[in-house]
Structure 1
């Protein structure tokens, strides 16, 4: 026992050194284990944060897509509403037009389109003489003496159906009076009506132009004609005061 104690005493330094080294190794090992655990926890936290970020990003994209889809749906709905309103407005306009009655039946006297003498009368049964043409022929209307720039008035409430030009009658306006009656004004200029327009009696259709070459000797005039279901009618028989 004494020998053992003596050995320990002699080697106490080395024993202490070895014990210290063992303790140091233990501390180092413990530190490494703790550091590794902290690193793993940090990595785990980063992974969780990254997952959360991805989740938030996905949620944001979903929200954006949802909002975008909602906005598109709202735009589409608004466009549909506007289109429906336009259609409804057009339908209402059509109804208003239908409500405008053109009801001339021949029993009401027409207005003179202008004040002027009849220089070539209506004549479908016999021929009348045309000085410029130097010939006799039938006349489906009347030729009224006028001065250039005289105003031409609507003889009755009507709807403008055609605006055209011919070599014989120059600029022409045609209109419907209703019930198959149609009126024609020829030798015009400065026309201030348009096709489809409804014009009240007495409103200005246009003004008298220079005569076409077919009427150069007759002088400045207004050509005025009326038909019923396409057949010529003597305008004078329908004009006020006749």
Structure 2
């Protein structure tokens, strides 16, 4: 080796040493940086786990509190709606021992046969009226004449009779009784109002069920004060004589009085008591 080569070798060695030192420094720095990163990640993970645990505990406490509040609300609503507290006592708006509310309306715990509080409809009233009265018309019973007046046309189902307005002969299932407009029409026997109909022939017609298949029909009425389901006594006012329909215009004001047994017409005169 000559003199010119010695400095070059020394310079190379110095360069390699510098490079090695630099690489070592970088490695050492990288090691510290990686360790710091792992430590930071570990701390962050620990914090996240702690926060999740706290959130879970808080959620459980909130859910428990909500359930308790709902239970309390349910108990309060039940007490308000039933009028009875949890300890079995009755509130001011509840049912008293007599089965009647403070407003005087009979509740479901009241006497037998009464509907629910404040909802006694017409149908219930009719059923009660029908069951509380005994209607028992038989072959030996009598009926009263519905209006004072002469018989214009007699009952006739075995032969035809002449209808003046219609100018023809027909069977007549009823008795046509003369009356003045506005006269009272009285019920002939105790019964239940079965129907109130309006027809072209007999006008407003009241049908009264008097028991055992017997019915009394009163036609040519107006201003009827009764309704279907009403119980009516004998001599009760069923209505008033109206103007005749076009089928009886020549006969004049009258009462159409028909009696039926099991849906078939019978002669009402045979069941009429002696008139006073």
TM-score (norm 2): 0.60
Q: How large is the Cα RMSD of the aligned pairs? A: 3.0
How many aligned residue pairs are there?
A: 187
1:155 to 188, 196, 219: 188
2:224 to 158, 169, 191: 191
SS in structure 1 opposite 2:270? helix
| Corresponding residue for residue 89 of structure 1 | 114
For the structure 1 residues 111 and 84, does the alpha-carbon distance in structure 2 shift closer, same or farther, using more than 3 Å as the test? same
2:82 to 54, 67, 77: 77
| Corresponding residue for residue 46 of structure 2 | none
Q: Deviations over 1:188-236 (max 9, x none)?
A: 0000000001111111000010000000111100000000011111111
Equivalent-residue separation in structure 2 for 1:137 and 1:60 (angstroms): 87
SS in structure 2 opposite 1:70? helix
Structure 2 residues without counterparts, runs of 5 or longer: 1-60, 85-93, 96-105, 117-123
- Answering whether residue 259 of structure 2 is matched by residue 226 of structure 1, we say yes
Q: Deviations over 1:54-105 (max 9, x none)?
A: x9x9998776544421122224435998974489623996566424211011
Higher helix share: 1
For the structure 1 residues 96 and 135, does the alpha-carbon distance in structure 2 shift closer, same or farther, using more than 3 Å as the test? closer
Structure 1 residues without counterparts, runs of 5 or longer: 1-54
Native 8 Å contact 1:109 1:241 kept in 2: no
Equivalent-residue separation in structure 1 for 2:263 and 2:201 (angstroms): 19
For the structure 1 residues 135 and 95, does the alpha-carbon distance in structure 2 shift closer, same or farther, using more than 3 Å as the test? closer
| Corresponding residue for residue 167 of structure 2 | 134
